[in-house]
Amino acid sequence: MTFFKTLAGTAVAVGLATASFAEDIKPAVIFDIGGKFDRSFNQASFEGAERFREETGIEYREFEIQSDAQREQALRRFAQQGNNPIVVAGFAYGSAMETVAAEFPDTDFAIIDMVVDLPNVRSVVFKEHEGSFLVGMMAAMKSETGKVGFVGGMDIPLIRKFACGYVQGVKAANPDAEVFQNMTGTTGAAWNDPVKGGELTRSQIDQGADVVYHAAGGTGRGVLQAAADAGKLGIGVDSNQNYLHPGSVLTSMLKRVDVAVYNALSDAKNGEFTAGFSVLGLAEDGVGYAVDDNNQPLLDDEIVAAIEEAKAKIIAGEIEVHDYMSDDSCPVS
């Protein structure tokens, strides 16, 4: 497998166009464990596919896996049945994608959150650390206790990347702030355990945290619920989760998985599908933070101005946010 870690920090690379024509398109989307209605990563994938369907009238097949063993089975089944392109959401599909895409060189594949170096695979990864830096600043500026929290899903380098960026943002706004960090587990079940997410959040709140950020998929529902129940603030991830608890979700760190899915399907429809990989950050609008009617009253002009200034400096290269995937250490803790 070609690991994302080896390519982190690269701006954009594009491969050769593969043969995909509008009249041949039979798209399929495979979601990761947690399902398309996890209100986070998978749901963003679903929303991208739905946008494509609504705009084009082209239906797509879909599958929600229930176990790791189904990844390769689902990919191969869709390819055997002539689906093209096939889009998968999640780093854990890397090995299965490498195997199946090699078996079906005339089928276009796209994978999100992992790089697979094959001539018929589009890989899309994100600079989650940049978006996490911004919401970390926001958390520190909003905190009244000087203590904030982070709850991750599966303990893997990708989630440590979220955490590291978040801590850097917190410390940029308040060098004396304390950040509590917990991971939910070490298996795929960590993405869909809202009860455990709630327990970890309550523990951090008991230690004084009054803002808690999650990067935990479906587990994050428990994080946001526990924060709201305690009268504290949560921070959502991937999709805009502000609406889940209006007035109790400070913001959501947006990761535009929906755009990556939509673009893959649209490019295939238009005969413009390309293989290769791209890395999307603040400069490309690949990550960001959500402001809407549900959280706008929580954000005063001072906070917004500080976050926008930091965003501009990150894009300009004046602030460098450490990428845990390129160096598995974090300069702040």
Average pLDDT of span 245-271: 96
Q: What mean pLDDT do residues 76-100 have?
A: 97
**pLDDT for position 16:** 34
pLDDT for the residue 93? 96
Per-domain residue ranges of the chain: 2-126+258-280, 128-255+300-327
**Reported confidence tier of residue 33, pLDDT bands at 50, 70, 90:** confident
Classify residue 30 as left (phi > 0), alpha (psi -120 to 50) or beta.
Answer: beta
Residues in CB range of 266: below 8 A, 6 or more apart: 52, 56
98 Cβ contact list (under 8 Å, min separation 6): 1, 2, 116, 118
Express each pLDDT in 148-193 by its tens digit.
Answer: 999 999 999 999 999 999 999 999 999 999 999 999 999 989 999 9
Name residues whose C-beta falls within 8 Å of residue 17's C-beta, 6 or more positions apart in sequence: 272, 273, 274, 275
Topology given in CATH for the domain delimited by 128-255+300-327 = Rossmann fold (3.40.50)
d(CA 161, CA 330): 9
pLDDT at 131 (0 to 100): 98
Residue 9 banded pLDDT, cuts 50, 70, 90: very low
* Nearby residues of 45 by Cβ (< 8 Å), 6 or more positions away: 29, 31, 36, 87, 89, 112, 257, 258, 261
Q: Sign of dihedral through CA atoms 316, 317, 318, 320? A: positive
Q: Is 291 helix (H, G, I), strand (E, B) or coil?
A: coil
* pLDDT for residue 35: 86
- Give me the CATH code for the 2-126+258-280 domain, please: 3.40.50.2300
The segment with the largest mean pLDDT, out of 6-10, 102-106, 326-330, is 102-106
The reply to whether 2-126+258-280 and 128-255+300-327 are identical in fold is yes
Q: Which two tokens stand for residue 48?
A: 């991208």
Q: How far apart are CA 333 and CA 207, in angstroms?
A: 17
Are residues 20 and 108 in contact, defined by beta-carbon separation less than 8 angstroms? yes
Please give the pLDDT value at position 213: 98
Burial of 144 (0-12, 13-18, 19+ CB in 10 A): exposed
